[in-house]
């Protein structure tokens, strides 16, 4: 059976090819033993491909497919039995890859940000439709209906939007569509998405205190600083000091004080810094430490040991909340020197009587606190006195003379006796001297000297015979002790009172006139 002479082109009819791809047209024959093939375009343009003839078929390979291949191709077959022709139309498109989105990786909330979507190598571009979406919300639409490009082109869509803090983590999507009627190709829609990294803040900064902003002295305190920021903010803690200076503390979101003291009271600042947005924000809180008073200072100026006559300042201060009542007093008499919140008490030209233990008492509704300090007043000898025992003396008796004096440090006591030559002879370094079997040679002027590093004071007493008493059976010497004061001492008198029986006194000597006492 002889087959009829036939031909066909594969693929047949309308062909849709992507620019840059590969297209092979095959021209087949049947019923012809030695066919002759030829290819041409309808407009006799260059083929834009490679022809390969085989025994019963011929191929036209276009690799890569280009704009030059947008034609109707005609295959002609000549056989001894005749000639036949068939044509096929090649239509082109280019939509090779997904869009490319360009967004700054470091957006700042509230500041304009360009979004660029590039659709590479599109053809025909007048069919292109582009949408920009933020999640499901359409930000921008654009088409290219007026585009008359005759070759593939990369189309660019640019849109400027203002990202907000709540946009962080959302997606910007570029949707590119190439809907060409009666052209069967896939995909006709391509998308690309990019997650937004929106830098924002710091904002809504809040400081909290646990257990509260008025803890008791000795409690722990937790200060926490919370803010909204991307990237996470750097947190710096500080505290206002006197004279508007600031003490920097730590860099952390939590400031922990295990045991608070009164000096921890003050205004605390939490400063949050976003190093990307270059923005800062602050939160402040006043912390007030409550509790019983703590005495912070109890001093004596210029020193706890002073010399009589110096100006002395006693200072006592305490801290607490509520503020304390401060009482400063000398313990020996419980006399309040002053009541104040914190001040100095001045003792001008201090006297030795001001020495002793001083007490500072600070109190408020939570309790009280006490502290003591000793004021040591140094002074020279004072109130030096000589006492003689017994008051009425007789020859042959024992006489005791005692010298006393006050001073700080305690005075050193020494005794001297005036010799007939007028010179003084040291006779004792004891405060008390005793003369046994009183004789005439024991009479005379006795001097007592009280001495320390701050001065000296002297007193004197004179033993002499004032008169003689006549008795039927004996004569008894009357010894008078006369006390006088040295030039450096305060005048004082020690009188020995003589009690005797009735006697006849020879002469007219007046004891009162002899003594001439001075007070």
> Residue 2: what pLDDT?
73
Question: Among 106, 89, 101, which Cα is nearest to 163's?
Answer: 106
Q: Is the peptide bond before 390 cis (omega within 30 degrees of 0)?
A: yes
The yes-or-no verdict on residue 351 having pLDDT over 50 is yes
Question: Region 234-256: what's the mean pLDDT?
Answer: 85
Look-up of token digits 């190439």: 178
The yes-or-no verdict on residue 226 having pLDDT over 60 is yes
> Residue 334: what pLDDT?
64
CA 6 to chain centre: 97
Is 359:445 a contact under the CB 8 Å cutoff?
no
Does the domain made of 6-93 have the CATH classification 1.10.760.10? no
pLDDT in tens, 124-145: 999 999 999 999 999 999 999 9
The CA dihedral of 204, 208, 213, 217, to the nearest 10 degrees, is -150
Order of strands across the sheet that contains 291-301:
291-301, 312-321, 342-347
Is 47:66 a contact under the CB 8 Å cutoff?
no
d(CA 243, CA 212): 26
List the beta strands (DSSP E) in 94-220: 100-103, 107-108, 113-122, 129-134, 137-143, 153-161, 171-177, 189-195, 198-210
All structural domains of the chain with their residue ranges? 6-93, 100-196, 205-287, 291-378, 380-463
The yes-or-no verdict on residue 160 having pLDDT over 80 is yes
d(CA 66, CA 18): 8
Three-state SS at 69: helix
Please state which CATH number belongs to domain 291-378.
2.60.40.10
CA distances from 168 to 11, 101, 106, 132, 254 (A): 51, 17, 11, 17, 26
- 380-463 folds as Immunoglobulin-like (2.60.40)
Helix (H) or strand (E) holding 23: strand 23-30
Average per-residue pLDDT for the chain: 85
Is 357:344 a contact under the CB 8 Å cutoff?
no
> Residue 99: what pLDDT?
97
In DSSP notation, 189-255 reads EEEEEEE--EEEEEEEEEEEEES-SSPBTT--EEEEEEEEEESPPEEEEEEE-GGG-EEE--SSSEE
Q: Beta 367-389 vs 305-307: how paired, if at all?
A: parallel
Question: Region 79-92: what's the mean pLDDT?
Answer: 92
The yes-or-no verdict on residue 288 having pLDDT over 90 is yes
Q: Is the peptide bond before 124 cis (omega within 30 degrees of 0)?
A: yes
Question: Region 285-312: what's the mean pLDDT?
Answer: 94
> Residue 1: what pLDDT?
61
> Residue 336: what pLDDT?
61
d(CA 209, CA 206): 10
Question: Among 211, 210, 218, which Cα is nearest to 320's?
Answer: 218
d(CA 239, CA 242): 10
Q: Is the peptide bond before 302 cis (omega within 30 degrees of 0)?
A: yes
d(CA 462, CA 85): 173
Structure-model confidence comparison of residues 343 and 358, the more confident one: 358
- The two tokens of residue 310 are 């110096």
Does the domain made of 205-287 have the CATH classification 3.40.50.720? no
Quick one: CATH architecture of 100-196? Sandwich (2.60)
Instruction: Give the confidence band of 175 by pLDDT, cuts at 50, 70, 90.
Output: very high
Look-up of token digits 């900064």: 205
Strand-pair partners of 52: 59
> Residue 246: what pLDDT?
79
Is 328:342 a contact under the CB 8 Å cutoff?
no
Is 131:80 a contact under the CB 8 Å cutoff?
no
> Residue 343: what pLDDT?
65
Question: Region 415-429: what's the mean pLDDT?
Answer: 88
Strand-pair partners of 329: 336, 359
pLDDT in tens, 463-493: 876 544 444 443 344 444 444 433 333 222 2
Is 213:121 a contact under the CB 8 Å cutoff?
no
Instruction: Give the confidence band of 507 by pLDDT, cuts at 50, 70, 90.
Output: very low
Strand-pair partners of 310: none
| Neighbour count for residue 139 (Cβ, 10 Å) | 14
Question: Which of 158-162, 303-307, 470-474 shows the lowest mean pLDDT across its residues?
Answer: 470-474
d(CA 373, CA 341): 18
Instruction: Give the confidence band of 338 by pLDDT, cuts at 50, 70, 90.
Output: low
Q: Which residues contact 151 (CB under 8 A, 6 or more apart)?
A: 67, 123
Cα angle: 248, vertex 250, 252; to 5 degrees: 140
Instruction: Give the confidence band of 515 by pLDDT, cuts at 50, 70, 90.
Output: very low
The yes-or-no verdict on residue 12 having pLDDT over 90 is no
Question: Region 195-217: what's the mean pLDDT?
Answer: 94
- The two tokens of residue 516 are 């001439």
d(CA 392, CA 399): 10
d(CA 37, CA 77): 5
Q: Beta 455-470 vs 504-505: how paired, if at all?
A: antiparallel
> Residue 335: what pLDDT?
61
DSSP state of 501: -
């Amino acid at each position: 059976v002889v087959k009829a002479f036939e031909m066909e082109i594969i693929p047949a009819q309308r062909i849709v090819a992507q620019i840059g791809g590969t297209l092979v047209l095959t021209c087949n024959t049947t019923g012809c033993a030695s066919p002759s093939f030829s290819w041409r375009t309808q407009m006799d343009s260059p083929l834009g491909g490679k022809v390969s003839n085989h025994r019963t078929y011929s191929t036209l390979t276009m690799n890569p497919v280009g704009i030059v291949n947008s034609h109707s191709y005609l295959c002609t077959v000549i056989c001894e039995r005749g000639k036949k022709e068939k044509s096929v139309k090649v239509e082109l498109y280019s939509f090779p890859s997904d869009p490319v989105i360009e967004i700054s990786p470091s957006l700042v909330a509230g500041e304009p940000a360009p979004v660029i979507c590039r659709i590479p190598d599109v053809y025909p571009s007048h069919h292109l439709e582009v949408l920009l979406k933020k999640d499901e919300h359409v930000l921008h639409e654009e088409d290219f209906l007026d585009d008359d490009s005759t070759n593939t082109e990369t189309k660019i869509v640019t849109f400027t939007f203002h990202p907000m803090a709540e946009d962080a983590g959302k997606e910007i999507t570029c949707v590119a569509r190439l809907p060409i009627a009666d052209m069967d190709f896939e995909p006709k829609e391509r998308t690309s998405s990019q997650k937004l990294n929106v830098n924002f803040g710091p904002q809504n900064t809040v400081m909290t205190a646990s257990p509260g902003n008025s803890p008791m002295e000795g409690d722990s305190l937790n200060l926490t600083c919370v803010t909204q920021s991307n990237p996470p903010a750097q947190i710096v803690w500080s505290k206002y000091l006197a004279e508007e200076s600031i003490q920097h503390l730590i860099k952390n979101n939590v400031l922990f004080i295990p045991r608070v003291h009164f000096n921890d009271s003050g205004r605390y600042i939490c400063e949050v810094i976003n190093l990307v947005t270059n923005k800062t924000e602050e939160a402040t809180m006043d912390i007030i430490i409550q509790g019983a008073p703590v005495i912070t200072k109890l001093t004596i100026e210029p020193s706890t040991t002073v010399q009589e006559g110096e100006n002395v300042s006693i200072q006592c201060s305490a801290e607490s909340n509520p503020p304390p009542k401060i009482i400063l007093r000398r313990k020996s008499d419980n006399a309040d020197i002053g009541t104040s919140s914190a001040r100095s008490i001045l003792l001008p030209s201090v006297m030795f009587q001001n020495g002793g233990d001083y007490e500072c008492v600070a109190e408020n509704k939570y309790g009280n606190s006490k502290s003591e300090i000793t004021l040591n007043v140094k002074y020279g000898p004072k109130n030096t006195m000589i006492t003689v025992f017994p008051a009425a003396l007789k020859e042959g008796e024992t006489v005791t003379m005692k010298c006393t004096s006050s001073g700080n440090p305690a005075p050193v006591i020494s005794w001297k006796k005036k010799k007939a030559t007028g010179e003084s002879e040291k006779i004792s370094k004891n405060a008390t001297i005793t003369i046994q079997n009183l004789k005439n040679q024991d009479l005379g002027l006795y001097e007592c000297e009280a001495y320390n590093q701050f001065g000296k004071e002297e007193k004197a007493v004179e033993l002499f015979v004032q008169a003689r008493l006549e008795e039927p059976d004996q004569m008894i010497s009357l010894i008078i002790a006369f006390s006088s004061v040295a030039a450096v001492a305060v005048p004082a008198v020690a009188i020995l009172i003589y009690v005797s029986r009735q006697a006849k006194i020879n002469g007219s000597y007046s004891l009162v006139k002899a003594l001439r006492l001075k007070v």
